[in-house]
Amino acid sequence: MRKISYSHWPKPPSACCANQLCQIPAHAQVCVAGLVILRQRPGTAKGVIFITLEDETETVNIVVWRKIFERYRRAVISARLMRVTGRLQRADGVTHVIAEKIEDISPLLDHLVTPVEKTIGKSAT
């Protein structure tokens, strides 16, 4: 697997695929997007929320500290499709994105079912 140079991965607002995160240096600022498949708020986590996003390649673990949750509460609670910008963290073989900005991009889901016009067989006039 080719390693991505520190300066050559998609930078925010462009989103990285989940399977690229292992190639990006720790503490780098990244943007990821995906379907929200899990939200957890364990009682023992002192107000921290854990979100799992899934894109077409893998899943991404998101850590949302209480202050960030309060700022982006609506997006954290209601988003079906989410974009998160934050810092990449690695600990004990697990990669997380520590959220700094959270966006509900659920309206983009409607575009997934928009039919593509067939252009095969049409000639330019």
pLDDT tens-digit map of 93-107: 899 999 999 999 999
Dihedral class, residue 28 (left if φ above 0, else alpha if ψ from -120 to 50, else beta): beta
The answer to whether residue 78 is domain-embedded is yes
Q: Is residue 2 part of a domain?
A: no
Looking at the domain assignment, is residue 116 inside a domain? no
Residue for token digits 């991404």?
60
pTM of the model: 0.80
- Residue 26 falls within a domain, yes or no? yes
Within 13 Å of residue 7, how many CA atoms lie on the same side as its CB?
0
| Structural domain containing residue 41 | 18-107
Q: For the chain, how many structural domains are there in total? A: 1
Is residue 112 one of the residues assigned to a domain? no
Q: Where is 79: in which H helix or E strand?
A: none
Least confident range of 39-48, 85-94, 107-116? 107-116
Average pLDDT over residues 1-23: 71
